[in-house]
């Protein structure tokens, strides 16, 4: 398995100064849980002409980044709008964020990152519980996210713990696939087994595609997990690299469209999408390069 921090044989043209962050329109807002006076919401994007009575379609649910203590669900409005245009019911989630006080108080054996996980699991369960209303196939739910949201989606779908006791029974947080944008895994997560993904990575992990910039410092935490993942029997794990790019590169063009196109093609191979990606392929310029094991 090649170390992802050093992909010297991949030669791509760097974009230089990055363009503005991508953004998309708004979706329909639902409350997936309430805690006191606080409403936890997700924003849903439906395919054009989507009717409840028709055959249910796959769904995709995203968790934004922001260091487990910041960010908003609007970060994935662009991706949700695209996947809805391709026939998926797409959602982007607001979840509990750790405060400075909580982060300071929980230093040591327990990480404040764990505070984000119950909401992520609740959102996935709500998506499944309301599948009929949304016109979604609960057995074909895809999860994903960027940076901290990538980590959250991994833990929420692999760790059987960190549940909200008020969640409805009969709905788990498993998913059919994962789409990850520079997921922020850390060697330091080992201090808290509940949020250390490598300890929860087992055979049967869902098919996954991950995107990284070659200069992303979070590759140091990703590499050990990728190494283990690559050895699991029957595992499907793809990594695509943007040479010369750093953390969060997918938020800017042309990488936003390049990563969406690659994710689209990956999901098509799994039978979760049909047809061809609809984003125009840029002429010349940078390209994502698959990283070989």
Determine the Cα–Cα distance for residues 1 and 231; give it in Å rounded to an integer. Answer: 9
pLDDT category of residue 225 using cuts at 50, 70 and 90? very high
pLDDT at 13 over 70: no
pLDDT band at 285 (very low <50, low <70, confident <90, very high): confident
Give pLDDT tens digits for 109-160. Answer: 799 999 999 999 999 999 999 999 999 999 999 999 999 999 999 999 999 9
- Do the bridges between strand 237-242 and strand 28-35 make them parallel or antiparallel, or are there none, so unpaired? unpaired
* pLDDT score for 178: 98
Task: Give the confidence band of 282 by pLDDT, cuts at 50, 70, 90.
Answer: confident
As a CATH number, domain 28-290 is 3.40.50.1820
What DSSP letter does each residue of 187-254 carry, written as one string?
Answer: GGGGGSGGG-HHHH--TTPPPEEEEEETT-TTHHHHHHHHHHHHHSTT--EEEEEETT--TTGGGBTT
Average pLDDT over residues 209-224: 98
pTM over 0.85: yes
Please report the sign of the dihedral spanned by the C-alpha atoms of residue 196, residue 197, residue 198, residue 204: positive
Q: Please report, to the nearest 10 degrees, the dihedral formed by the alpha carbons of residues 184, 187, 189, 193 taken in order.
A: 130
3-class state of residue 259 by DSSP = helix
Q: Predicted confidence band at 53 (pLDDT cuts at 50, 70, 90)?
A: low
Predicted confidence at residue 244, as pLDDT, reads: 96
Q: What is the DSSP letter of 282?
A: P
Give the pLDDT of residue 78.
97
Give how far Cα 67 sits from Cα of 70, 71, 113, 150, Å.
6, 8, 9, 11
pLDDT band at 281 (very low <50, low <70, confident <90, very high): confident
Residue ranges covered by each domain of the chain: 28-290
**Cα(136)–Cα(115) distance, integer angstroms:** 28
Name the band, by pLDDT with cuts 50, 70 and 90, for residue 108: confident
């Amino acid at each position: 398995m090649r170390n992802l921090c050093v992909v010297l044989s991949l030669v791509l043209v760097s974009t230089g100064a990055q363009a503005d962050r991508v953004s998309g329109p708004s979706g329909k807002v639902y409350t997936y849980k309430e805690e006191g006076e606080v409403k936890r919401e997700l924003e849903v994007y439906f395919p054009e002409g989507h009717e409840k009575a028709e055959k249910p379609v796959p769904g995709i649910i995203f968790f934004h980044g922001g260091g487990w203590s910041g960010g908003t669900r609007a970060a994935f409005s662009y991706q949700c709008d695209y996947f809805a245009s391709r026939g998926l019911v797409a959602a982007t989630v607001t979840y509990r964020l750790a405060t400075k006080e909580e982060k300071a108080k929980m230093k040591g054996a327990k990480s404040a990152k764990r505070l984000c996980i119950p909401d992520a699991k609740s959102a996935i369960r709500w998506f499944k519980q309301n599948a009929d209303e949304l016109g979604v196939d609960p057995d074909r739910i895809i999860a994903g996210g960027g940076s901290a949201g990538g980590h959250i989606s991994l833990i929420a779908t692999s760790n059987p713990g960190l549940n909200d006791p008020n969640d409805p029974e009969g709905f788990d947080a498993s998913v059919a696939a994962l789409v990850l944008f520079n997921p922020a895994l850390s060697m330091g997560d080992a201090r808290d087994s509940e949020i250390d993904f490598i300890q929860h990575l087992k055979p049967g992990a869902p098919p996954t595609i991950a995107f990284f910039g070659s200069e992303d410092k979070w590759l140091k935490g990703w590499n050990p997990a990728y190494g283990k993942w690559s050895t699991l029997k029957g595992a499907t794990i793809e990594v695509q690299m943007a040479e010369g790019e750093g953390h969060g590169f997918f938020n800017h063009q042309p990488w936003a469209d390049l990563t969406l196109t690659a994710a689209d093609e990956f999901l098509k191979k799994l039978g979760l999408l049909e047809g061809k990606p609809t984003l125009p392929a840029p002429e010349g310029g940078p390209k994502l390069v698959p990283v070989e094991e």
